[in-house]
């Protein structure tokens, strides 16, 4: 079984996001970037499945500018076998990324594509679903447990009502939740070894995919500042304030 894992380079989750003064986006210059957190879970799960003898190869793929390759290197340092970097400048919408990933899936012929449930920069939660539609493969989203069973997968998904367990046929797309596993850290020797693992570079323009945006971004602005809270002495005062001031009960 071959597993393709999509990893995206995003602003690190610890960074305090700042909006550009002209409202055209967020500041990315000199800002720490990292792998999108659920994509680390996707890589971890693929590597664990390989370690359990149920997968033969794990291939990490990223779509993005030159520096996006760092995310592939990190995936190689925690156990992926090789990488693919589809080079493209500028911000891409999920539809463009999923069309590019479709081309990579056509070429690589994986049995499984693991992705994050959501990218923390655009919060779209669309790329996996769109890829599933383009490839016409089954999908299991928000996976918090994955069991590989011959040519099927048993996936537990987090839903509003609790946990749902579904069985899907392979080939399939799985988008991974943060609760799926605990991603390992890359050890120094493995970081050094990863430098020797191959990364194939492909120009997005060579894939014949239309990556032009379908959405027009009007403005990016900071959320309104929250007012300071107050402390109440007891439940009676809380109820009185909710009733008479906030008027919510």
Which CB, 102 or 118, lies closer to ligand AMP?
A: 118
Q: Contact with ligand AMP (CB under 6 A): which of 3, 6, 104, 112?
A: 6
Query: Residue 148 or 204: which CB sits closer to ligand AMP?
Result: 204
Question: Phi and psi (nearest 5°) for 23?
Answer: 70, 20
Interface of this chain with ligand AMP, residues 107 to 146, rule: CB under 6 A: 115-116, 118-119, 122, 124-128
Helices (H), the chain: 37-51, 69-77, 94-108, 127-135, 188-194, 235-244
d(CA 66, CA 76): 17
Residues 59 and 46: their CA atoms lie apart, in Å, by 9
Q: How far is the CB of 236 from ligand AMP (least distance, A)?
A: 45
CB of 159 or CB of 238, closer to ligand AMP = 159
Q: Is 44 in the site for ligand AMP (CB under 6 A)?
A: no
CB nearer to ligand AMP: give 55 or 104. Answer: 104
Under the rule (CB under 6 A), what is the footprint of ligand AMP?
A: 6-8, 36, 38-39, 62-64, 92, 94, 97, 115-116, 118-119, 122, 124-128
């Amino acid at each position: 079984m071959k597993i393709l894992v999509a990893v995206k380079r995003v602003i690190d989750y610890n960074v305090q996001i700042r909006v550009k003064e002209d409202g055209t986006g967020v500041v990315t210059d000199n800002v720490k970037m990292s792998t999108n957190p659920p994509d680390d879970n996707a890589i971890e799960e693929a590597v664990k499945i390989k370690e359990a003898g149920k997968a033969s190869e794990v291939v990490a793929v990223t779509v993005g500018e030159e520096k996006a390759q760092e995310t592939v290197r990190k995936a190689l340092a925690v156990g992926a076998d090789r990488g693919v970097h589809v080079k493209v400048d500028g911000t891409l919408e999920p539809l463009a990324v999923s069309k590019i990933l479709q081309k990579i899936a056509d070429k690589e012929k994986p049995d499984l594509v693991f992705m994050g449930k959501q990218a923390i920069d655009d919060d779209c939660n669309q790329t996996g679903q769109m890829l599933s539609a383009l490839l016409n493969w089954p999908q299991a989203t928000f996976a918090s447990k994955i069991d590989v069973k011959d040519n099927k997968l048993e996936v537990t998904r987090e839903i509003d009502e609790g946990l749902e367990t579904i069985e899907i046929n392979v080939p399939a797309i799985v988008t991974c939740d943060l609760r799926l596993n605990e991603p390992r850290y890359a050890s120094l020797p493995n970081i050094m070894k990863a430098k020797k693992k191959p990364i194939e570079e492909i120009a997005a323009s060579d894939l014949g995919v239309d990556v032009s945006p379908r959405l027009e971004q009007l403005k990016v602005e900071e959320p309104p500042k929250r007012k300071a809270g107050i402390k109440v002495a007891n439940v009676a005062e809380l109820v009185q304030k909710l009733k008479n001031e906030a008027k919510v009960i």
